[in-house]
Every structure is written in structure tokens, then in C-alpha cells.
Structure 1
Amino acid sequence: MAVSAQIDDALWDEFHTVVNMTSRELQDWLSVEAAGEETEEVPDRAGTPRGRRVLEILGKRRTDLTQDDVDVMRRVCEIVRSQRDPSLEPTAGGTDWRHGLMDIGHDPLKPS
């Protein structure tokens, strides 16, 4: 059931600011990140559960969002906000830190 009335402009805008990777970039990243020497996941299941949810949300219209989608959007915004300077200026950091953020659609080296 869509809950578009429960998502305010601020959350919608913040989510689409902090998730600065396109759907294609995120899909490619999740596929590469999930590929290992001995295993390669099915493309639709590649990456972290939260990363796959972000990818699904990016493919939805605002009017089609569910409450679960809104909760994921809030959590992604909280994660990025807690780990980044509010300006979101491109920042180099450790590989694990960058990859963790990229798993949810935020590339800290990419301008917003």
C-alpha cells in the first residue's frame, strides 16, 4: 500500500541528495561488490539487502512508496548524515568506509 502522504518533501529531497549514485551505478557497484573468486550472486540479489532496497526505491515514483520504503529512506539519510560533513563535499577516506557508503548509494568522492 502506497504511503505517499507520509513522506514529506524534506525526506524525499534529502534521500535523493545523499543517494548520489544513479540506479545504474548502484546496480553495477552491487554486482561488482558481490562478485567473489568462488561465487557470483544472481544480479537481482547482488549486494547488501539495504543496497538492494535503495535500488528498488530509486526505481519507484513517490506515489508508490510503502512505509517500509520510507523507513529505509530515513535510515539511509541517518547513516550518511552520521558519517559525512553536512556539505557533502567530495571526501577521500578509507576504502571500507567508502565502500560501506557506496553499498547504500552514496559515493563520498562524487559531487552531490
Structure 2
Amino acid sequence: MADAPELGTLWEDFHRVVNMNSAELAAWLRVRDADERTEPLPEEAGTATGRHVLAILQKRRTDLTEDDVRVMRKVVDMVTAEADVENEPEAEDSRRRHRLMTLGHDPLKA
């Protein structure tokens, strides 16, 4: 696993890019997967990465696993690469916004 200073930096970076709290992300993952007739079970809603981000949000830093650290790095890299500070998506750019929200980052959230 990462050493303590590196883990501390990753923890801060992860919580900076993941700007949705666990309740918001859980609700989004359920809504995202719902269709006209069914809604998935809460623990089955969303992508595997989205569910893992949700699990990480509910943990303390001392409880992280190697897999958590791997997913945190992946999410930080993906959101950083996708987010464009100069050109954040507008409300009508729903595909990009929804993809980021699945990772716990709502670009329209202050």
C-alpha cells in the first residue's frame, strides 16, 4: 500500500475531486440505473467503480485496502483528465456530467 504521506495526499485529492457526499452518490447511482418499471437494489445500483467510490466515502482513511487505493487513484486521474476548469459542462451537457457523477464528481456543484 502507499506510504503515509502519499496516502494522505491521495486521500485529500480523492475527497477534492469527489464532491458528492455518500447520500448524493447513492441516490444518483439508483436513479441512473432505474427505468420505467424497476429500480435496482441499492447495493447493485450503478457501475462497479461508482459502488466502490461510495464504499470508500463511508470509510476512514485507516480502513482503506489496496483495492481502495487503486480505485482512488483511478478516480482522481479520470476526474482530473475529464474535468476542464475553463470549460465545465453546462447543464445541457448531460452525458459528460452524468459520467463524472457516476464517479462522485458533479461538475455543476460549487
TM-score class, shorter: 0.7 to 0.9
Equivalent residue, structure 2, for 1:81: 80
- Structure 2's unaligned 5+ residue stretches are none
After superposition, where does 1:29-68 map in structure 2 within 5 Å? 29-68=28-67
Give the deviation of 1:70 after TM superposition.
0.2
**Partner amino acid for 1:18?**
V
Give the 3 Å change call, closer, same or farther, for CA 88–15 of structure 1 in structure 2. farther
CA distance in structure 2 between the partners assigned to 1:55 and 1:49 by the alignment: 10
CA distance 1:18–1:60, shift in 2 (3 Å): same
Q: In structure 2, how many angstroms separate the alpha carbons of the residues matched to 1:10 and 1:110?
A: 23
Q: What is the distance in 1 between the residues matched to 2:87 and 2:13?
A: 15
Deviations along 1:40-83, one digit per CA (max 9) or x if unpaired, are: 21111111110000000000110110000000000000011101
Aligned counterpart, 2:107: 108
Instruction: Provide the aligned C-alpha RMSD in A.
Output: 2.0
- Cα–Cα, structure 1 residues 5 and 64, in superposed 2: closer, same or farther, change >3 Å? farther
Task: Give the match for residue 21 of structure 1.
Answer: 20
CA offset digits 1:78-102 (Å, max 9, x no partner): 01110113x5896426111000000
User: When the two structures are superposed, what TM-score results if normalisation uses the length of structure 1?
Assistant: 0.86
Classify 1:88/1:4 alpha carbon distance in 2 versus 1 (closer, same or farther; 3 Å): farther
DSSP-derived class of the 1:106 partner: coil
Residue from 89, 92, 111 that aligns with 2:90: 92
Contact 1:4–1:64 (8 Å) recurs in 2: no
Q: Take 1:65 and 1:16, find their aligned partners in 2: how far apart are those partners? A: 14
- The two structures have a TM-score, normalised by structure 2, of 0.88
What's the % identity of the aligned pairs?
50
Secondary structure of the corresponding residue to residue 8 of structure 1:
helix
